[in-house]
Structure 1
Amino acid sequence: MKAGFRAKFNAVPELRRGWSAPPLDILRAYDPDQRTLLSEHTASPLRIEEGDRVGIVLFNLGGPSSLEEVEPFLYNLLMDPAVLDVPVGGRLRHWMAKSVAYLRAETLRERYEMIGGGSPLTRLAREQAKALQGHLNDRYGEPTGIEFLTYPAMRYWHPSYEDAAAQMAADDIDKVVLLPSFPQYSTATTGSALAHWQGLGDADERATWPTTVVPEYAANPKYVQALSERIDEALQRFPRGVQDEVVLVFSAHDTPFRMRNEQEDPFCCLVHSTVAQVMRHRNRDRPFHTAFQSMIGPSGWLTPSTQDTITTLADQGHQSVLVVPVTFVTDHLNTSYELDIEIRAEAEEHGIDHFEVTAGLNTHPLFIEALSEATIAQLDLPMDVNQLRLGGDGRSQTYPLRPLRQLPRHDMKRHAAQCPNCGRTTGARKWALPERSAEPEVSPDRPVSQSEAPSGPASESRPREDS
């Protein structure tokens, strides 16, 4: 076995006590690691044979389950150059991350204590994995003689990627699907996860298998519908007399603007693509805005911020706001504390009388179906997958599943939710069949040129129909 990154860090006491760090080849380089770029992960469908055991690795960030775990979790988070955008690496980054984690830990412990003494993310991720495993085996496994097993894998905590890989080896897994719990691809989330997974393989820190990847599922219809149902549920918490006046604010986790410019990160465009599809599903029933939250470090960030958006709405006289955590698929600190406690207090100070936050998708049945569809789309099963989904000859009004790289992209130029952060647009993969008079399709991997990009951001508060 090659000398892995653990051996190279064996002089650091915190690592020997169970703290972890990314592979050294990522730590040494501040410049974008090519393995984090979306173009590096256009995996082909994976051929599955009867009798195969397929492991589904559900990438997530993880979170401290207790107050004692807050500091080491924060250290692991800050060790990732894709998260803390500062030009240092190696041992210097270790000491910087260790110092910042120590200084920030007490504040974060207070916040975690306010939401129950720890993050619910790992528990909810396990529940998602269990639900997905049951759905895959019931719908696809039993008819084909294939067994699906799911493995939560946390980027910055436990169960770690190494834990998931070790369990898959013990379970005699034959093929692997890497399924991020991040519907919208970003180099800071999915890209970092895939780079870390590959780095472990390069260092012989895990076994290897025939593998395929789900890069993004930002416009999967089941995911879109699940978000819309969470909105409907939350609207019922407003007084009946103001429900028609509620403004939606879709809040996404922020990323450094540098990623958009230098790494051509499609995250902001995919966020706007998701929002566009949710509002299209809802027939654009009310005003809406897209904003970004949870900035870390000194970098420039995507705009507008969630706080600024809500302040502006208050200044305009709006008094009823519903925040939709659009990129978060479980309840955790960024939703339960930052949105539901911190930003709620700021909204009330600015005169927002009615403020609510939608619940996380968690194990919403439609979201579990979305994860299942994203997985199966990347597999070549021994039976026609659409007959398994639809029954009979596979004909139905619903959409067929196709490999993700074969799907066209939504034409973002025709949506009111165009991305205001960049000079070009990258629509999400388009799952549904084209509708008459609907938006035109963009060919699967044709880039949108600068001349095709919108000249300026369209107002999201004035919804319009596709033409």
Structure 2
Amino acid sequence: MLNMGGPETVPETHSFLKNLFSDGDLIPLPFQKYLSSYIARRRTPQIEQQYTDIGGGSPILKYTRYQGEHMAKLLDELSPSTAPHKAYVAFRYVRPMTEATLEEMKADGVKRAIAFTQYPQYSCSTTGSSLNELFRKGQDTGIEWSVIDRWGTHPGFIDAVALNIEAALQKFPSSSRKDVVVLFSAHSLPMSVVNRGDPYIQEVSATVSRVMERLGHSNPFRLVWQSQVGPSAWMGQQTGDAIKGLARLGKKEAVIVPIAFTSDHIETLYEIDKEYIHEGKELGMNIIRAESLNESPVFIRALADITKTHLEDIKARKVGNVSTQFKLRCPGCMNATCGAQKDWFAAQGAQV
């Protein structure tokens, strides 16, 4: 289960930030090695305080392990021919890091594995970066791989998100409920990544479209973007600016939906809960966040179903070890590692 990760304890914050800003796939910077160290040092005190404010660290490891363990247990029932199943967590910027997870898998004697991205929508800066790291560290493990690279329109995922939105909407008076604005908030991307042809924007948009279809287009909605870092241009409109704009237009109620995250972490618990909702309150708005997926049984069943279908399709030779879309590089891609990584995963001989 591949993800960005987050520091489980406050003292891990600096190393997390250093690793994050050193990753040119996620945040391309000039003089990356030197500038990443400078930015990490500058931001560490502020981000440490944010993690302190949300309880002393990120819960993303706790929730990812919970989701993985319960998915594997359910998968044993749904797909007994491929059992037993075990979920491993590989984070990109903080423990358990990819290399350590691969060592654990080798020690367990794993021969067959699925690289299952926990970013529902594909981006070269997230899924691509995690797979690049797996490619760099995993070639001598003797493990055969297949890849689940995107699943942002899976019906179970859509249903899990929609149920949380419906629960949030129930907290508003029935007289005004249909007028509550639904703000889908996703982590933004630098425009340099968007402009090279990264598919993330359209894939997040597709998720939002499916969720609103599932809700019967019950409410007005917008897709907005959060977590911009640095002075360069990022995809907008930023979530905070959207809230200011809605207040100016006379809107009084809104639900914020974390649409590109599979569990709570600093972007939900601090950025949304402590910044955006507070800003809305100061502007006279009542804003509620839809719950993250966390321990949602509907979401966990969706993860199991995605995996079961993947295994069945490979066995039936309906697909190769990677999806058709996975093989296509961004038209503006100049990253040689990305090309080599895609070729390596596509050439794997994994069988069920």
Q: TM-score range by the shorter chain?
A: 0.7 to 0.9
What is the aligned-residue identity percentage?
32
Q: Deviations over 1:102-135 (max 9, x none)?
A: 2211111111111111111111111111111111
Where does structure 2 lack aligned partners over 5 or more consecutive residues?
326-352
Give yes or no for the alignment of 1:112 onto 2:68.
Answer: no
Q: Secondary structure at the match of 2:176?
A: helix
Residue range with higher mean Cα deviation, 101-110 or 177-186: 101-110
Deviation at 1:79, TM superposition (A): 0.9
Partners of 1:146 and 1:345 lie apart in 2 by 47
Deviation at 1:61, TM superposition (A): 1.1
Give yes or no for the alignment of 1:235 onto 2:169.
Answer: yes
Report the equivalent of 1:298: 231
TM-score between both structures, scaled by the size of structure 1: 0.66
Partners of 1:374 and 1:106 lie apart in 2 by 40
Report the equivalent of 2:62: 123
Matches within 5 A, 1:313-462: 313-352=246-285, 354-380=286-312, 405=323
Matching residue's letter, 2:183? V
Q: 1:312 aligns with which of 245, 260, 263?
A: 245
Report the equivalent of 1:222: 156
Partners of 1:136 and 1:298 lie apart in 2 by 45
Deviation at 1:315, TM superposition (A): 1.2
Matching residue's letter, 1:363? E
Partners of 2:146 and 2:122 lie apart in 1 by 15
Partners of 1:61 and 1:226 lie apart in 2 by 22
Partners of 1:145 and 1:192 lie apart in 2 by 28
Partners of 2:313 and 2:112 lie apart in 1 by 12
Larger RCO, structures 1/2 (Cα 8 Å, 6+ apart)? 2
Report the equivalent of 2:25: 82
Aligned-residue RMSD, C-alpha: 2.1
Matching residue's letter, 1:84? I
Report the equivalent of 2:7: 64
The structure with the larger Rg is: 1
Cα separation, partners in 2 of 1:381 and 1:314, compared to 1, 3 Å: closer
- Partners of 1:59 and 1:179 within 8 A in 2: yes
Deviation at 1:378, TM superposition (A): 2.5
Report the equivalent of 1:16: none
Give yes or no for the alignment of 1:150 onto 2:87.
Answer: yes
TM-score between both structures, scaled by the size of structure 2: 0.87
Matching residue's letter, 1:279? M
Q: 1:176 aligns with which of 92, 108, 113?
A: 113
Partners of 2:228 and 2:246 lie apart in 1 by 21
Where does structure 1 lack aligned partners over 5 or more consecutive residues?
1-57, 386-400, 408-467
Deviation at 1:364, TM superposition (A): 1.2
Deviation at 1:226, TM superposition (A): 0.4
Matching residue's letter, 2:277? R
Q: Deviations over 1:19-42 (max 9, x none)?
A: xxxxxxxxxxxxxxxxxxxxxxxx
Q: Secondary structure at the match of 2:125?
A: helix
Q: Secondary structure at the match of 1:227?
A: helix
Number of residue-to-residue matches in the alignment: 324
Report the equivalent of 1:44: none
- Partners of 1:127 and 1:363 within 8 A in 2: yes
- Partners of 1:67 and 1:118 within 8 A in 2: yes
- Partners of 1:85 and 1:297 within 8 A in 2: no
Deviation at 1:238, TM superposition (A): 2.5
Q: 1:188 aligns with which of 119, 125, 144?
A: 125
Q: Secondary structure at the match of 1:150?
A: coil
Partners of 2:265 and 2:99 lie apart in 1 by 23
Partners of 2:138 and 2:276 lie apart in 1 by 41
Q: Secondary structure at the match of 1:278?
A: helix
Decide which structure has greater helix share: 2
